[in-house]
Amino acid sequence: SLKKKDVDRQSTSSIPGPDENTVLIKPHIHDVLFGRGGTANNHHGNEVFRILVRKQKDTYLKSEKFQKSQISKAIVSAVKSRDPPGRFLARHPDAARSIPGGCADDSWWYEVKYERAVEKVSQALREKKVARKGGKKRLNVEISDSSNDST
């Protein structure tokens, strides 16, 4: 059965995909939320993530396959190196149907595996620009050159 754990007590390594052993967690400010819509788009961690992607997109598109992989891994590393460490989270598929009225609270998220996070970054780097409504927020975000990090 699914259990909600306190974020401070749960491990951020080797959390499985959504199954009976999935640890459910509440997102914090540095997490990157998978999905579409306002929750993911307006989350601070996703805004920072989009800036990191934007800064690396031109280099990524001009790079060879190995270099592309290193760029994606460097962005994952940049998210995970924040304080507190950012995580790549997906909403549990049972979230909406597990709560009366079908509305999920913020605790129905789980951390995806490292490989899936890298795939998410690579996908974002390949996407074409989409015009957004409203003014742009200015956030100062840097990416370190620790692209050899594989965790």
Q: Evaluate whether 118 touches 72 at the Cβ level (below 8 Å).
A: yes
List pLDDT tens digits, range 97-144: 554 444 445 668 899 999 999 999 999 999 986 555 555 555 555 555
What is the C-alpha to C-alpha distance for residues 112 and 117, in angstroms, rounded to an integer? 7
Half-sphere exposure of 32 (CA within 13 A, CB side): 28
- Backbone phi, psi, residue 101, to 5°: 90, -5
Average pLDDT over every residue of 38-61? 93
- Paired with 111 in beta bridges are 89
pLDDT of 54 > 70? The answer is yes
Helix (H, G, I), strand (E, B) or coil at 33: strand
16-25, 45-54, 78-87 — which is least confidently predicted? Answer: 16-25
